[in-house]
Structure 1
Amino acid sequence: MKAAVRQLVTFAAAAAAVTSLSTGPASADDLDGADGLLGASPALSGLPLLENGLPELPLSVLQNPVGSTGQTDTRNFGTPTVARGKVCPFTGNVPVDIPLVNISAGSSLPGLGGYTLDQPSVPSSVYSELCMSEKTYRDARAGKAPAVLVLVHGITYGTWYWDSPYQPEKYSVVNDLVDHGYATLNIDRIGEGRSGHPLSALVTPDTNAETVHQLITKLRGGEIGGTKFGHVGLVGHSYGTITSWLETAKHNDADMVIGTGYGNRFKLDQGGLLFSGLIPAALQPNFPHASWKFDPGYLSFRPGARANSPFFYKPNTDPALLTLDEQLQSPVTATELGLFLPRDYDGTHKNIKIPNFIINGEHDSFFCGAGDKECANEASQQATPQELEAAAANQTAYEAPGFGPQACLRTAVIPDAGHNINLHQNSDQVSAQIIYFADEAMGVTGQNNQQYRGSCVTRDEGLSDLLPDLTRVIPPATNLLPVG
């Protein structure tokens, strides 16, 4: 009963903030007093409150001001973060074309390879940050280009998910990858952050995939930062994994793909609870004044909904990241939400012909099956990448029917983490897992890719690999969790 009352207070406080019915900001105790959310971080006490009751982080944690002109979101997202030995030879908006209709001709989907057809489109741009170490950059200038990893975030996020401006020495995956020798292209997906915000109806799973395809093509052609990258890997999170898998199924133009925070069976009950926390973007006080905000197809989470969602496993989350998550959120379009699910069932992912690795959080209530049992394991926060992969046998077996043999599917589960695995205290395990697989399947200069792809196929492709996945027609369910 007490929990139910607390959730009701949470909803009422958030709703009051959005509709301006309250006489003042909601208090932090109203929002989550029983969990002691803010008490766990004394450094946050005394800060001014956001409209959802969480403290507003000082600008000192956001290291860099917004740079280039023409951006549609003028907030300071704090990226790229500053780190010793890190250089970013390109930051800014890359021109892309947004297809007005989805035409798969010319892609690698069955029956369409080799056929091309002009696609009507509208111009837009994708904000991108190309970074690498000073040594790697010197090598690139000398004609020895590193492999580059394109980092694709999930819905309502942006570059900061991969390159956290809060304690980047702990939470920045970009900096870990750069230190290891990879280049990274960290982007705001179309319709998010500093990228273009076209008509919301044009922001779909397919247009997300096509814009990422254009970025890969530009990287290989030397059109971003002046380096021709011969080896490109895709790393997605949540909707960024949807984007990366769809781009790969259509074009298979990367060397490998890593999907985090996603799987082939999205739990509709959990998704329904999460999406019930959405409001029109025009009602989101954190968004800038821009024309796209009043497009009814652009949506946002109401204040308070994110911190109390399966995005986070609170026992292992720094409360400061919850408030940063609230401050820096981006919108999502109704078309993105309405069109993504069929790809999990129609066999599209079986056309992934490059090595694929999945990394999920142990407490990801969206993708871990009924009762989250498919991600359950005994691994610890001290486990090595090899140990985390070995402990994920249940998840591998659970996801395997959605892929063909050339995907060579492997998986790992991050212990004590919710959906947003990068934003938990053991974020270093995420970076280590990405590096572990990227090194095996590609290598920092792409030196391992050909051999790995030639040796990892375990069986011949059969008829079932060309058909929709009918092994689990009914989506899994779980105990309902409160959102907001």
Structure 2
Amino acid sequence: MHVPFVLSLSLLAGSVTAKTCHNFTIPVNISSRNFVFNNIATPQTNLDTTTFVQNLTTQGRNLVADALTGYATVAGIYNISAQFCIPSGTNATLKNPTVQVLTHGVGFDKAYWDLPYNNYNYSYVDTAVDQYGYCTLAYDRLGIGRSSHGDPKNEIQLPLEVQALAAITRMLRNGTLPTVNHAFSKVIHVGHSYGALQSYALTAMYPDLSDGIVLTGYSTNGTFTGLFFAGANLQQANLNQPLRFGSASNYGVFKAFVDNFALVDLVTPLQMAPVESFNYVNGYMTNANANSQQYMFLQPGYFDPGILYYGEQTKQPVAIGELLSVGALPAMSTFKGPVLVFTGSTDLPFCGGDCLNTGTSAPSIPATARALFPNASVFEAYIQPNTGHGLNFHYNATAGYRYIQDFLMAQNLESMR
């Protein structure tokens, strides 16, 4: 028997002035049919990584086809790091709430949805939970952050990550998600960029698992992704930030060097000790620096420079297998619910920096995604002004959050209290 929802959520209650959140781990027992890319070596150095990107972005070359040697079933029990949030002070009246499942994109983890920068003024979760009364479940995608890592080439791929998302969704629907213990009748999927691709794939493969989807930082035009990854100047994550992305022992080596040469007074103000070491192996790659971070995600003049450096300090990598498997998407979705595509006006990877420059009669590049959803009850493509690919890092982020919630409310996907 499941613990009653009102009781289980009230146990999490803290402050009555803001959302109440709980961090926990979700074990998922999943399997998928993955690609086997044995005709390509996992990059071991930064030069290897550059060579990989050159091969990936060369005109007329299909690196995926060159690398592919077959398929294999990958299966196991993986741990997914999650944050579940509810409105505080209303636990007793939450009778049948709606939950939003938030899937982040490349370069981020689940904190993308609840940014602590500038006292949480950029928090999507704050808007969805505190202002509109939704519950939210944000999680680190498989292979990223505090979730289980794995072989970056043949294991951490889009097909396995979609199965993790499906498993989490089923738990929410049948009331078996650890800590939450409530069967949600309405589940909305909100994804950003690579997370949007996974949310799309989920609804194409399992259309009954979702009641509504929001695809942010997204279009069906993949023409410009080469610009995105070339501009990233990708490097091995454990070489780019060896103390944070490498083994915890790296800090021990660094500290011994500092102590031996009496440099502690020089480096202590820099707070070089990471909060945690993620221990990424070779094959997990990240953008080079703050300059590439801006090029990839931000529109000049419309962001706080401080959030750029926050993003660089808290960034997360991408696995080589994710880049090679990104094309493993169903060609069409039979999903019958409402769909919102929400993309920044100067999005780089999906619009080439100008989402309104279509060259056709289409109102925008993201609007062409309508063809993927022939059965959608509602389809809308909205272009957020003065915004790049990293939507949540811009000055007008909260206006965008409210637009999304208003869209959901208009489709009878409100949080029922």
Per the normalisation by structure 2, the TM-score is: 0.72
Larger RCO of the pair (alpha carbons < 8 Å, separation 6+): 2
Q: 1:160 to 1:336 in 2, by over 3 A?
A: same
In 2, Cα distance between the equivalents of 1:156 and 1:268?
A: 14
Q: 1:393 to 1:193 in 2, by over 3 A?
A: same
**1:128 is aligned to 2:82:** yes
- Write the deviation string for residues 447-482 of structure 1: whole angstroms up to 9, x where unpaired: 9xxxxxxxxxxxxxxxxxxxxxxxxxxxxxxxxxxx
Return the offset for 1:296. Answer: 2.4
The counterpart of 1:167, out of the listed 115, 118, 122, is: 118
- Does the Cα contact within 8 Å between 1:236 and 1:260 map onto a contact in 2? yes
Secondary structure class of the residue paired with 2:218: coil
In 2, Cα distance between the equivalents of 1:375 and 1:313?
A: 19
In 2, Cα distance between the equivalents of 1:124 and 1:196?
A: 6
Return the offset for 1:324. Answer: 0.9
Off by >6 Å, runs of 4+ in structure 1: none
Structure 1: give runs of 5+ residues left out of the alignment: 1-80, 104-118, 377-391, 448-484
- Does the Cα contact within 8 Å between 1:414 and 1:429 map onto a contact in 2? no
- Does the Cα contact within 8 Å between 1:139 and 1:145 map onto a contact in 2? no
- Does the Cα contact within 8 Å between 1:234 and 1:244 map onto a contact in 2? yes
Structure 2: give runs of 5+ residues left out of the alignment: 1-13, 36-72, 249-276
Per the normalisation by structure 1, the TM-score is: 0.63
Secondary structure class of the residue paired with 1:126: strand
- Does the Cα contact within 8 Å between 2:32 and 2:74 map onto a contact in 1? yes
In 2, Cα distance between the equivalents of 1:426 and 1:356?
A: 22
Secondary structure class of the residue paired with 1:149: strand
In 1, Cα distance between the equivalents of 2:98 and 2:318?
A: 30
Q: Structure 2 matches for 1:9-88, cutoff 5 A?
A: 84-88=17-21
Amino acid at match of 2:122: Y
In 2, Cα distance between the equivalents of 1:87 and 1:317?
A: 28
The counterpart of 1:222, out of the listed 175, 185, 199, is: 175
In structure 1, the residue matched to 2:221 is 265
Return the offset for 1:95. Answer: 0.4
Return the offset for 1:171. Answer: 0.5
Identity of aligned residues (%): 27
In 2, Cα distance between the equivalents of 1:161 and 1:242?
A: 16
- Does the Cα contact within 8 Å between 2:343 and 2:382 map onto a contact in 1? yes
**1:197 is aligned to 2:149:** yes
Q: 1:169 to 1:120 in 2, by over 3 A?
A: closer
Question: Per residue, is there more strand in 1 or in 2?
Answer: 2
Amino acid at match of 1:282: N
The counterpart of 1:425, out of the listed 369, 389, 395, is: 395
**1:373 is aligned to 2:356:** yes
Return the offset for 1:338. Answer: 1.1
Secondary structure class of the residue paired with 1:184: strand
Return the offset for 1:326. Answer: 0.7
Secondary structure class of the residue paired with 1:235: strand
- Count residues in correspondence: 329
- Does the Cα contact within 8 Å between 2:355 and 2:365 map onto a contact in 1? no
Q: 1:198 to 1:255 in 2, by over 3 A?
A: same
RMSD over aligned CA atoms reads 2.7
- Does the Cα contact within 8 Å between 1:126 and 1:187 map onto a contact in 2? yes
**1:399 is aligned to 2:366:** no
- Write the deviation string for residues 113-172 of structure 1: whole angstroms up to 9, x where unpaired: xxxxxx7611111111110112443234xxx13100011110120122110111244200
Q: 1:370 to 1:313 in 2, by over 3 A?
A: closer
In 2, Cα distance between the equivalents of 1:334 and 1:131?
A: 32
In structure 2, the residue matched to 1:330 is 316
Return the offset for 1:372. Answer: 3.9
**1:250 is aligned to 2:205:** yes
Q: Structure 2 matches for 1:394-473, cutoff 5 A?
A: 394-395=364-365, 397-406=367-376, 408-445=378-415
